Chain A
């Protein structure tokens, strides 16, 4: 049963949100919508994803939820319009992130040992602030160092539907 009014509500919300919205959050939003059920909500979401498959913007399904996003194909014009310099990350930052992403969970010491440089603290703090990594436990070792792993926000930012989608390296 297609409820156009419900679909319209969802579409409006997606355009206003500016961030991924989980099914739970949407369901809570619509809690008093007449005859709303989880199945109906899911069906509506599937319908919308389909509707936007070939549209100018896309309704992406990310680990953080549903997110209306611009398409990569048009990034050149959008960047020009926004007049912003695209964000660049330093090699060191990316290396620390790569170690955590591919080898999680890891401690700071692990990261520093792999890179051969003892300056991960600054990067780790930065990554924690962005909420791309989080502490998932402590290693049974002297000092009980924190173990880091990536978060849902990390996956959202890099358009990965899950951790398995991190590309494997090519073996030379």
Chain B
């Protein structure tokens, strides 16, 4: 950054903000600088303000205060505006270019009114501070019964009992079942060998695992595709029936 902070730069006293909660953003900080030095907002001395602002940011960084990216963005903006001010004003069709500070001034003024409005809201009579909706306590809230006091040796006794119970349980291993599609297809076709229509759901043992049912369904669809069985259903969401197709 080609920006040199002048040596005898006057930085308005002092970090009151270290004691307070800090600034509410770059606009807030700018207002602080403007107010403290009685600067006319309609004619902001950009070189001075930009320098002071940057100095503030570096002080904040040195004190390890959190400097949000928004502050840095503003710093760049201020320097940009300052540079633009240094350029000779162009005369385009006899009309002087806009003041490069214009947008900033607009933003500052708007922010000022937001702060004022925030104060207005804060000063409104409000619940939990100035008035309260009345509420008679109905006095029938029942206190939950106190939990019984636990005695140390009871705890030990409990623990021993639990350990005993553990002994009655064998470790149970959950094995992964694998289902083979073509085996399932053979299986189902075999069950239909006598030519009698069978319900899909009767093919399974009670509480068959979900995966088994899914694979069986897939097997049925394959069998239908290869024209080995017929699938019929009487009504929407009713049972469906499988029947082997006679090849003979």
Contacts and interface: CB of A to CB of B under 8 A. Distances in A.
16 contacts: A14-B134, A18-B134, A20-B133, A75-B130, A90-B21, A95-B115, A98-B117, A99-B114, A101-B117, A114-B114, A116-B26, A116-B27, A118-B68, A119-B68, A157-B127, A169-B120
B104 to A, nearest CB: 10
B141 to A, nearest CB: 14
Contact of A86 (B24, B115, B128): B128
A102 B121 CA distance: 10
Contact of B132 (A78, A115, A166): A78
Interface in A94-146: 94-95, 97-99, 101-102, 114-119
A16 B126 contact: no
B1 interface: no
A169 B112 CA distance: 11
A101 B68 CA distance: 26
B59 interface: no
Contact of A158 (B70, B107, B111, B121): B121
B113 A169 contact: yes
B124 A169 contact: no
Interface residues of A, number: 44
Interface residues of B, number: 36
Q: Which 10 A-B pairs have the closest CB atoms?
A: A18-B135, A117-B25, A94-B118, A98-B117, A86-B129, A116-B27, A68-B134, A98-B118, A158-B124, A95-B118
A75 B131 contact: yes
B136 interface: yes
Contacts of A115: 24-25, 27, 111, 114
A99 B111 CA distance: 10
B122 interface: yes
A94 B25 CA distance: 14
Interface in A17-65: 17-20, 57
A171 to B, nearest CB: 10
Contacts of A8: none
A86 B114 CA distance: 24
